[in-house]
Structure formats: structure tokens, C-alpha cells
Amino acid sequence: MNHPSRPATLYVVATPLGNLGDLSVRAADVLRSVGVVAAEDTRRTRPLLAHIGSEARLLSYHAHSGERREDELVDILHAGRDVALVSDAGTPAVSDPGSSLVRAAREAGCAVVPIPGPSALTAALSASGFPADRHLMLGFLPRRGSERERLLADAAASPWTVAFFEAPQRLTALLEDLAAHCGGERPAAVARELSKIHEEIRVGTLAGLAAHYTAQAPLGECTVLLAGRGERPVEDAVSLEETARELARRLLTEGHSRKEVARALTEELGLARNAAYRVAMEVE
């Protein structure tokens, strides 16, 4: 993959959240073929490279690396050597310093190629049951101060699902702060240890989740999802699902088609079309 006649390519490579089976064939090929891998934590990336037989040179690149390391990586690209950017887990540049290197590489005239793959954000959204067609990603909040308060207020006011990343020892504090801004009954979800043996995706209210993790300290990095303002409480959502099933059964018994049932659920109960069709299929 070396191109001495022009600047080389920066590959932004998604790596497993925990399960090595999630590394794509394409990502493995890239990591074996590049000359250099820029890693958030070389201690975590080295075993992955060994697992796939990559002999690439490892260089650390993290939040405290500074401009000197960034310039060094851009110089390597200009010398015609491809570089792969990886984070500790998941997709780089989503909630780590990778975006700065991507920007520097682009400004230097280098090609930037994403190698898609695992993402804690999309994994949590897909399994939460919360709307994900529009969402707000706030990542790791500041630990204290006015900026944290501003972002918490923004989250509370958002009409869309809001996503956060949090360390396990600070999870309860985040849930309690969210409850103070949103009310303890706001629906939320905590996804942790994604793709690992002890994976857990727990959905409930902010108050209930805070109480649970106060009594049972969590392990592993956490992705927290906050339901958008105006979303039904968990109890109401369960009640609505039961009402929808009862209506669907009655309409199907009366001879209505699945399509007609789904339309009725949408018009009479306000269900989203895909949710209404799912209920009609399941009941049928």
C-alpha cells in the first residue's frame, strides 16, 4: 500500500468493542498491510495486531500526544507510508482525539479512508428500543462545572434520544444528575460490556437505573441513552404495547388484513408505522 510518488492514505479503522470476531476481514487486511498504526493505547492494540499477524509499527496517539506526534504521523504519510488510526475499541474519532489527525491529514492533501465496523453508539441504539433516526451524541461529559450543567440541560430539553459515554465509577453520578434535570421517571438505558461475555443492556427510568447501579456497581465502559423529551414513560410504553396487541387481535379476528391492522394501530394509537406492522405480524 505504499505510494512514494504521492502522500499515502490514512485509514480510520474500527476495531472490536471486545469480541475479536467483530473485526472485519477488510479491517484485518488493512492493519496487516499498513506501515504504521496510530493507537490510542498501544498496550491494548498490540494484542490485536499480534492476533491477526500484523507487523506494523505502533505509535501512540491520544488526547495528550500533542502536535509533535500529529506532525510526525503526517510526515510519515507524506513519505508514502500508509497509516491506520485505531482507538481502544470501536470507531475512531467519535469520542477520542482522532478527528484532529483526520483533519490534519486532509489539510496536508492525504487521502482519508474509513474502514467501518463496531461502534458502541450504534450497538446501544440498535438494541435499546429508543428512536434512533435522529439522536444527539454528547459523549463523555466534563466531570464538573458550568459546561457539564449546560450539556445536561441540553440533554433534558432534547426531543431526540441523547447518547453519552461514561466510565463505570462515574455512571451513578451521571444518572443522578440526569434525573435532577429530567425527572427520575424519564426513560433511559445503560449498555455496558457490549459484545463481551457479561454484556448487559438495561432499560428503565433514570431513578430506577441509578438505584440499581448504586446497589450493584457496574463494570466496563458504559453507553447511556436518554429518551427524548416527550417520550412515553416505560410503564406507559408497556401499556400501549398491550393495547396495540389487543386491538390487533380483534381486527385480525374480524378479517382485516395485516396492512389494515397496522394502519389502524398507527391512526388510532399513534404507533410508528414500523412498530404497528411489527405488532400486527407478531399477533398474526
Over residues 20-70, the pLDDT tens digits come to 999 999 999 999 999 999 999 999 999 999 999 999 999 999 988 888 999
Residue with cell 412515553: 232
Phi-psi region of 205 (alpha: psi -120 to 50; beta: other; left: phi over 0): beta
Say what the pLDDT of residue 233 is: 53
Ramachandran angles phi, psi of 51, nearest 5°: -60, -35
Task: Please determine, for residue 197, whether its predicted confidence score (pLDDT) is greater than 50.
Answer: yes
Pairing of strands 187-192, 36-39: unpaired
- Please tell me whether residue 240 adopts helix, strand or coil conformation: helix
205-258, pLDDT tens digit by residue?
999 999 999 999 999 999 999 999 876 555 455 566 778 888 888 888 888 888
pLDDT at 3: 43
Q: Are 82 and 8 in contact (CB under 8 A)?
A: yes
- SS3 call for 202: strand
Residues 6 or more apart whose Cβ sits within 8 Å of residue 230: 159
| DSSP 8-state class, residue 90 | B
> pTM (2 decimals)?
0.77
C-beta atoms surrounding 75 within 10 Å: 11
- H helical segments located in 108-145: 120-128
- Which of these, 192, 241, 181, lies nearest to 218 by C-alpha position? 192
Pairing of β 83-86 and β 36-39: parallel
Query: How many angstroms from the chain centroid is the CA of residue 198?
Result: 18
